[in-house]
A and B are shown apart, each in its own frame.
Chain A
């Protein structure tokens, strides 16, 4: 019997097990899975990070960004409010905004000059009445009926999120109290200033990067810097918070002088013990970021947002799928208006730790690719996530894959949810 390629792949269900400890490799490989994610997940009842409020501070400011692979615009109208809508002309679908950021009175499509206000309403159609009584749009054409699809917008401590769904709960309810307060810990009461933007193109499925962010197990094994300089030892005081949905997480650690004495690492005989020393150790001389002992806090919001505080390197990361095996990772490095010049210099120095060339993050750029290449031809096999048990719950130990399992819990709920609908 003949069937199209699309039909064939649609008929292949993902083989999930009953618990969260197995992840079929197919979810990183299937075109059908990727396509389903775009609708169920990125257009589903979830909040996607869009930009910083600081990037759309004044009237007429706009950012063009993405929800999944859908291009969108965030704009601040003269009423002071933020609006979000698809970056797509209602006429024939051309992009409305071509620049990443800017300030404008309105959006006029370059193709046939249909124009839109800052709220995304269609306000003008070129030659609507034709020329000399000939041509033009029919009388029945009503501008209010046409326009790019609009989003709900939520702002939390300077972070702008958007959703195409009317069913998504308010951002605070979506995140829960613990995650919300951990975002507040880093961002509340301060005025962020962007000090740099970098984009990393990853040779792997977007979910492999999300897993990596949530994987506290690898942190001090793959990244020698973390351990050698005691930025983050699994034996340090700290823990993992996994929210109820499983989709959001926080991994944190705090100064603990006792950890230096413990032998857990040398006993393991792993490569993270070495005699490596910095010629310029000022790299790691920082200050208490918000007046507490927490030197590291990695926070993720389902599906693809990360807020990072690693020593005094504060950044947001936006994870954007651009194909089954390709991901765009946008880094925005932050300082704060309140910084002293000395503190600002510390941030610039410690930015060496993160990003595409980061001492403790360059490996994350390639491990996803190692997995993507490693699982070729193994679509029927699964990853094993049993470290720390089989649940997706908070713990004091970071030798656990609990928050990775949490991601799959939320992911499976998302992908099943609308299959039923």
Chain B
């Protein structure tokens, strides 16, 4: 685990959360490899080993569909997120990539101006090198709370 990995992951995290908070959301799938796994679940499901997700994608194209659905199909009130990320913990580097965990806090700002803590949790990640760029091969978004307020439209 080099200091370099720590910096590279930190940079991906910063760009990733900026992409969701500031846009354009269309670039969000680019943080992932083609055959990625992206799943949003709760700490309870995660510890019980239950595989389903609030969002469950095993291809990058499914993430592209998430974005276009939000743009063209789904109905929800305008809102934005603010991601506050902790420092990544680089846990292990092995043949299938770098494993790391990062805490997050997401504040949701609604159309009426209300800011609320929408989610807290951790990203359980595996990164791989693609053409000298660090991409997310696997990201499990483990939310601390079992509750989702109203709906989850934008990704975490």
Q: Is the CB of A348 within 8 A of B73?
A: no
Question: 22 A-B contacts, Cβ less than 8 Å apart?
Answer: A194-B50, A197-B42, A198-B42, A198-B45, A199-B146, A201-B148, A201-B150, A224-B72, A224-B74, A280-B59, A347-B52, A348-B52, A348-B53, A349-B56, A349-B62, A352-B53, A352-B55, A357-B54, A357-B152, A357-B153, A362-B74, A362-B153
B55 to chain A: closest residue by CB: A357
Given A199-B146, A202-B150, verify A366-B76 contact (CB < 8 Å).
yes
| Interchain CA distance A202-B147 in the complex, whole Å | 10
Q: Is the CB of A276 within 8 A of B151?
A: no
Binds A, one of B18-26, B63-71, B84-92, B125-133: B63-71
| Chain A interface residues toward B at CB < 8 A | 194-203, 222, 224-225, 228, 274, 276, 278-280, 282-283, 328, 333, 344-345, 347-349, 351-352, 355-357, 359, 362-363, 365-366, 369
Interface: B51 (CB within 8 A): yes
Q: Is the CB of B40 within 8 A of A225?
A: no
Q: Is the CB of B53 within 8 A of A274?
A: no
How many residues belonging to B are interface residues under a CB distance threshold of 8 Å? 35
Q: Which of B136-156 contact A (CB under 8 A)?
A: 146-153
Residue numbers in A under 8 Å from B65 (CB-CB): 278-280, 283
| Chain B interface residues toward A at CB < 8 A | 40-42, 44-45, 50-59, 61-62, 64-65, 68-69, 72-77, 146-153
Given contacts A200-B148, A366-B150, 9 further A-B contacts (CB under 8 A): A195-B50, A196-B50, A198-B45, A199-B147, A225-B69, A283-B62, A347-B52, A349-B56, A357-B40
Q: How far is the CB of A346 from chain B (nearest CB, A)?
A: 11
Q: Is the CB of B56 within 8 A of A351?
A: yes
Q: Is the CB of A196 within 8 A of B51?
A: yes
Given A279-B68, A280-B61, A363-B75, verify A356-B54 contact (CB < 8 Å).
yes
Q: Is the CB of A365 within 8 A of B151?
A: yes
Q: Which of A197, A276, A351, A355 contacts B146 (CB 8 A)?
A: A197
| Interchain CA distance A347-B52 in the complex, whole Å | 8
Residue numbers in B under 8 Å from A201 (CB-CB): 147-150
Residue numbers in B under 8 Å from A352 (CB-CB): 53, 55-57, 62
